[in-house]
């Protein structure tokens, strides 16, 4: 299989591109993560979101620890080819490691950040921590 489509991406100096995960159907932005060439290729091949963890310096198969996988329905690129958009079906309804539906659960209100969405599941329960 030709990988010319990967050459279209404008990878940053570290070989990464930002990837926005958007929920199929609702259009809600769930999260922003990073992808490298291998993670984007694996995402296409497996049909599940695979990101690059900058903190762990390793591939991150979304949901591998939590079970909250992202089934990829479409892969898009923006006009400059420097941002990837994944349209995903979020399994379990939780995209954020904090137990929220998405990672954008805080909004600026009167000069402070306020949580505007509930925790759907305690992260300690999600990750089986004592």
Q: How far apart are CA 69 and CA 48, in angstroms?
A: 7
Per the structure, the count of domains in the chain is 1
- For 67-79, the three-class secondary structure string (H helix, E strand, C coil) is CCCEEEEEEEECC
CATH of the domain at 59: 3.10.20.810
What would the pLDDT profile of 99-128 be if each residue is shown by its tens digit?
Answer: 999 999 999 999 999 999 999 999 999 987
What would the pLDDT profile of 1-45 be if each residue is shown by its tens digit?
Answer: 567 999 999 999 999 999 999 999 999 999 999 999 999 999 999
- Whether the full predicted model's pTM is greater than 0.85, yes or no, is yes
Range of the domain at 122: 4-126
């Amino acid at each position: 299989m030709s990988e010319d489509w990967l050459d279209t991406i404008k990878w940053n100096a570290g070989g990464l591109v930002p990837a926005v995960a958007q929920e199929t159907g609702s259009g809600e932005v769930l999260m922003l993560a990073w992808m490298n060439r291998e993670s984007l290729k694996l995402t296409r091949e497996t049909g599940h979101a695979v990101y690059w963890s900058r903190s762990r310096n390793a591939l991150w198969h979304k949901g591998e620890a939590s079970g909250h996988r992202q089934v990829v329905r479409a892969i898009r690129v923006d006009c400059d080819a420097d941002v990837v958009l994944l349209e995903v079906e979020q399994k379990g309804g939780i995209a954020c490691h904090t137990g929220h539906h998405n990672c954008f659960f805080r909004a600026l209100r009167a000069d402070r950040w306020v949580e505007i969405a509930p925790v759907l599941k305690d992260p300690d329960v999600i990750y089986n921590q004592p």
